[in-house]
């Protein structure tokens, strides 16, 4: 991609352009290091460092960053991409390769697949897994210009930006803060398969073989409060997810 003056100097993030670029998308390399950009605003454009891939951080999300890649300051806003379901990680990897091969580290800084830890209960056993918070979506921090739009939008399995027409709408700082806070939670939540008001069958404990109605769900602790009728009187019983099943399930 030609290195014109516009590309060397990031435009203001609020600049809009309704026209889609028409130039051809350069060929993508078969293998390349995935990266984005992470910068200290005080460094300016003095530092050059090798890009690096960081995955599996404490947040549980997939983060693609790089250190000081010939840029002036950390700028840009967060935008949301819509992808084909199940291709979120592939999009993050492919976009990282395009950022490096097309030398767009000065305009596209970070790619994020928001994830959190959850506890699944299958076959009577608990298993902690990492699940996407927003299936079908990937977040990108960038300066919006025709060039950066073209690189992101033409990444394989990306179906479009979230926005109005062809103009992406950035995510608010409060929304980004809320998502990062959710990703940073160390204790996994439970993959809740029940709903309030649903009738369940108790399979273990003092109330085994009783049926009851789910009244409350505590996803953090993996507990439910079930109303059980005992001698004609409704009694709340706290149960573990492992102690119940849906009525009619084997």
Where would I find the beta strands (DSSP E) of 115-195? 115-122, 125-132, 137-142, 158-161, 163-164, 167-168, 189-190
Mean pLDDT throughout 71-88? 82
Q: Does the pLDDT of residue 45 top 90, yes or no?
A: no
* Residue 125: DSSP 8-state: E
Residue found under tokens 């991409």: 81
pLDDT at 226 over 80: yes
What is the rounded CA–CA span in Å between residue 162 and residue 201? 43
- Separation CA 231–CA 225 (nearest Å): 19
With tokens 């997810």, the residue in question is 241
213 vs 63, residue with greater confidence: 213
User: Do the beta carbons of residue 78 and residue 176 sit within 8 Å?
Assistant: yes
Q: Which helix (H) or strand (E) holds 78?
A: strand 77-83
Q: What is the DSSP letter of 38?
A: B
Q: Which of 203, 216, 217 is nearest to 246 (CA)?
A: 203
Q: Is the pLDDT of residue 173 over 60?
A: yes
CA nearest neighbour of 13 among 104, 74, 75: 75
Distance CA 82, CA 153 (A): 10
Domains of the chain with CATH codes: 5-189 (3.30.70.940), 199-246 (2.30.30.30)
The confidence band for 245, taking pLDDT boundaries of 50, 70 and 90, is: confident
- Does residue 148 or residue 247 have the better pLDDT? 148
Residue that has been written with the tokens 């103009």 in this structure: 167
Which range in 2-6, 31-35, 58-62, 223-227 is most confidently predicted, on average pLDDT?
223-227
Task: Give the chain's mean pLDDT.
Answer: 74
- Rounded-to-10 torsion of CA 111, 117, 118, 122: 100
- Is residue 69 within 8 A of residue 51, CB to CB? The reply is yes
How far apart, in whole angstroms, are the C-alpha atoms of residue 235 and residue 211? 12
pLDDT at 136 over 60: yes
């Amino acid at each position: 991609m030609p290195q014109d003056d516009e590309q060397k100097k990031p435009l203001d993030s609020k600049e809009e352009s309704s026209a889609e670029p028409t130039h051809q998308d350069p060929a993508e390399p078969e293998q390349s290091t995935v990266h984005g950009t992470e910068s200290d605003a005080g460094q300016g454009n003095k530092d050059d460092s090798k890009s690096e891939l960081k995955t599996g951080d404490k947040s549980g999300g997939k983060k693609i960053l790089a250190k000081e890649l010939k840029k002036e300051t950390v700028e840009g806003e967060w935008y949301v991409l819509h992808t084909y379901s199940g291709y979120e990680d592939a999009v993050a990897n492919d976009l990282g390769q395009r950022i490096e091969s097309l030398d767009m580290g000065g305009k596209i800084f970070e790619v994020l697949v928001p994830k959190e830890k959850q506890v699944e209960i299958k076959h009577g056993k608990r298993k902690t897994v990492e699940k996407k918070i927003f299936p079908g979506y990937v977040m990108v921090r960038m300066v919006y210009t025709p060039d950066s739009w073209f690189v992101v939008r033409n990444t394989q399995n990306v179906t479009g930006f979230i926005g109005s027409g062809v103009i992406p709408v950035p995510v608010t700082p409060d929304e980004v803060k809320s998502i990062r806070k959710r990703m940073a939670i160390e204790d996994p939540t439970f993959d809740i398969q029940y709903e309030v008001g649903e009738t369940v069958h108790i399979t273990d404990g003092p109330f085994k073989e009783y049926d009851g109605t789910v009244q409350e769900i505590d996803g953090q602790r993996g507990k439910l409060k079930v109303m059980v009728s005992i001698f004609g009187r409704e009694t709340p019983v706290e149960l573990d997810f492992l102690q119940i099943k849906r009525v009619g399930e084997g």
